[in-house]
Amino acid sequence: MQKICLVVFICWLYSCHTKNSIDSSKWQMLDSFRGLSYSITETGKGEKGDISIKYFGWKKDDKVISDTAAERQFIVEQLITPALMANEKIKQLPKGTTGYISINTSDFFQQNYTDIRHYTLFFSGVVADKTLKEDSLKLESMNVFKRIEIINSAKALDKFTEDNDTTWKSFIKSNPLPASIELTLKKEFLTKEKYDSIKNILSELLPVSEIQLPYVNGLLDAENGIIKQELVYKFVIF
């Protein structure tokens, strides 16, 4: 019984130390990426190394709430690791260095991902170019998009052929790719509430079979909204 109590006490003490080390950290901003900051908890020695990052949780009222959402870790590989490895401060850290990375999703998203496609609308069956043009005019009248690109089936096939093997053409004679319209929002509409609202409007406005969202949608937290969300990751240089 005494051993169990001792183990529980040690675990509690460690968790408190971990929480305090996060909450009281002195965060340093990364100059090249607004919205990203880091805090070193232990400085290593020796030569430069590679970085490993794992999602830890999110901030609320200056506290870090533990979280295990899979899409948050996916964001690491797609967004955060490349951003950090391009930063000179991070690249100079020696092996054995550990710490935390904080990302303000509002700042990071609005600075670095304003020019990506935020929605892709896929259409079923054969769609005439005239119909796609009419649909694009409807979208333009919403006055929320800064870029609207029509991709008919032929253009979709050309894009696919550029990046992929074409042996499938020997046994599939017709074009299997659907027509689509890619949309990029104006910066002022990059909030969770507006993002979801516009998606719902698109579903009702056009007869599309699917609305595809980019992986960066994982940055838009459903509970707190993009404006308030701040994610925390652990990192180690090895």
Q: Model confidence over 15-38: pLDDT tens digits?
A: 444 443 465 557 777 655 567 788
One fold for 26-112+223-237 and 119-213: no
Tell me the pLDDT of the chain averaged across its residues.
Answer: 75
Q: Is it the case that residue 80 has pLDDT exceeding 70?
A: no
Mean pLDDT of 156-175: 76
**What pLDDT is recorded for position 71?**
60
Q: What is the pTM of this model?
A: 0.57
User: For residue 233, which phi and psi values (nearest 5 degrees)?
Assistant: -125, 145
**What pLDDT is recorded for position 201?**
93
Q: Is it the case that residue 48 has pLDDT exceeding 60?
A: yes
Q: Model confidence over 99-148: pLDDT tens digits?
A: 888 877 666 666 666 777 889 999 988 899 999 999 999 999 999 999 99
Domain boundaries of the chain, sorted by first residue: 26-112+223-237, 119-213
User: pLDDT > 70: what percent of the chain?
Assistant: 68
**What pLDDT is recorded for position 53?**
81
Residues 6+ apart with CB under 8 A from 46: 94, 95, 96
Let me know if domain 119-213 sits in CATH 3.30.70.
yes
Confidence of residue 181 (pLDDT cuts 50, 70, 90): very high
Q: How far apart are CA 185 and CA 42, in angstroms?
A: 41
User: For residue 111, which phi and psi values (nearest 5 degrees)?
Assistant: -85, -45
Q: Is it the case that residue 180 has pLDDT exceeding 90?
A: yes
What's the 3-state SS for the chain? Answer: CHHHHHHHHHHHHHHHHHHHHHHCCCCEECCCCCCEEEEEEECCCCCECCEEEEEEEEEECCEEEECCCHHHHHHHHHHHHHHHHCCHHHHCCECCCEEEEEEEHHHHHHHHCCCCCCEEEEECCCCCHHHHHHHHHHHHHCCCEEEEEEECHHHHHHHHHHHCCCHHHHCCCCCCCCCEEEEEECHHHCCHHHHHHHHHHHHHHCCEEEEECCHHHHHCCCCCCCCCCEEEEEEEEC
Let me know if domain 26-112+223-237 sits in CATH 3.30.70.
no
Q: Is-contact 103 80, C-beta < 8 A?
A: yes
**What pLDDT is recorded for position 224?**
43
